[in-house]
Amino acid sequence: RADRRQPRVTNIAPAYVLTLCCKVVCVDDDFAEDAPPRDPAATLRMIEEQRAAAARLVNPDARIYYWPWGFAWLISFTVFFLRYGPNGRVFVDLPGWLPFVVMITLILAAGAVAGIGSARAYRHIEGDSSRRGLYYGLSWSIGFASLFTVAGRITEYVPDDLQGLLWAGIAVGLTGVLHMAGGAIFLDRYLFALGLWISVINMAGIFVGPGWHSLIVAVLGGGGMIVAGSVLARRQRAWR
């Protein structure tokens, strides 16, 4: 006998359906407090406060960058001058290796402080600006690694009284060039001007000879960066 039962259908649809037919808006007290002010003057003040906050975030205190390098140069080149003065004069009888160790230690410390400060300041920035900063930072590391490699290879062929001038002259010269390159990349006229200043005093110091070069770089280079950091920090506070 043919089975006349109807096919069995299983209903897998939900037991009921809710249809949202109105918009639900919940406003708490915190949201109301964060709402934009209705007064135009208050709105402008809020915009200015947000702009200043963003400027502080991406433009750190200039002293974070300039002061570590300035004090490193001021101290290390002063030690060089006291040990290797003009015409072979020794103002303070220090071990011959000490000025080199002091310079390398302070430069590494200054680079670490400035690098950490810059990394914290620009950690929120992405895209082309971030890549430019990364490439620029790598150029410093690779540039000085190349410099020390070349200088270390040829130092033995240079007269003893000119070895210090060789290391200091090419190191300061590379620093000036990289500062000018940074000013061109980031369109920072202050950074470019600093690189130009460093290059000029470096050439002047090399021209007058060993001993005097260390004194010029210590006072006009290191001292100049300390002064520049103070002036730029004051301007930053005024802009904010």
CA nearest neighbour of 171 among 99, 79, 104: 104
Whole-angstrom distance, CA of residue 121 vs CA of residue 65? 11
Q: Residue 31's pLDDT is what?
A: 47
Q: Residue 12's pLDDT is what?
A: 42
pLDDT at residue 91 greater than cutoff 80: yes
Q: By percentage, how much of the chain surpasses pLDDT 70?
A: 70
Q: Residue 176's pLDDT is what?
A: 92
pLDDT at residue 215 greater than cutoff 90: yes
Dmax (CA) of the chain:
127
More confident position, 141 or 240: 141
CA nearest neighbour of 85 among 205, 222, 201, 213: 213
Q: Which of 49-63, 74-88, 147-161 bottoms out in mean pLDDT, i.e. has the lowest?
A: 49-63
Whole-angstrom distance, CA of residue 138 vs CA of residue 131? 11
pLDDT at residue 61 greater than cutoff 70: yes
Q: By percentage, how much of the chain surpasses pLDDT 90?
A: 28
More confident position, 196 or 129: 196
Q: Residue 71's pLDDT is what?
A: 94
**HEC-encoded secondary structure of the chain:** CCCCCCCCCCCCCCCCCCCCCCCCCCCCHHHHHHCCCCCHHHHHHHHHHHHHHHHHHHCCCCHHHHHHHHHHHHHHHHHHHHHCCHHHCCCCCCCCCHHHHHHHHHHHHHHHHHHHHHHHHCCCCCCHHHHHHHHHHHHHHHHHHHHHHHHHHHHHHCCHHHHHHHHHHHHHHHHHHHHHHHHHHHCCHHHHHHHHHHHHHHHHHHHHCCCHHHHHHHHHHHHHHHHHHHHHHHHHHHHC
Q: Decide if 99 contacts 80 (C-beta within 8 A).
A: yes
Q: Residue 155's pLDDT is what?
A: 87
Kindly indicate the confidence band of residue 55, based on its pLDDT and cuts at 50, 70 and 90.
low
More confident position, 134 or 197: 197
pLDDT at residue 92 greater than cutoff 80: yes
Rounded mean pLDDT, 85-93: 90
Q: Residue 18's pLDDT is what?
A: 44
- Residue 133, amino acid: G
Mean pLDDT, all residues of the chain? 79
Q: Decide if 70 contacts 220 (C-beta within 8 A).
A: no
Kindly indicate the confidence band of residue 52, based on its pLDDT and cuts at 50, 70 and 90.
low
Whole-angstrom distance, CA of residue 236 vs CA of residue 218? 26
CA nearest neighbour of 82 among 72, 68, 71, 95: 95
Question: Model confidence over 1-26: pLDDT tens digits?
Answer: 444 555 554 444 444 444 444 555 55
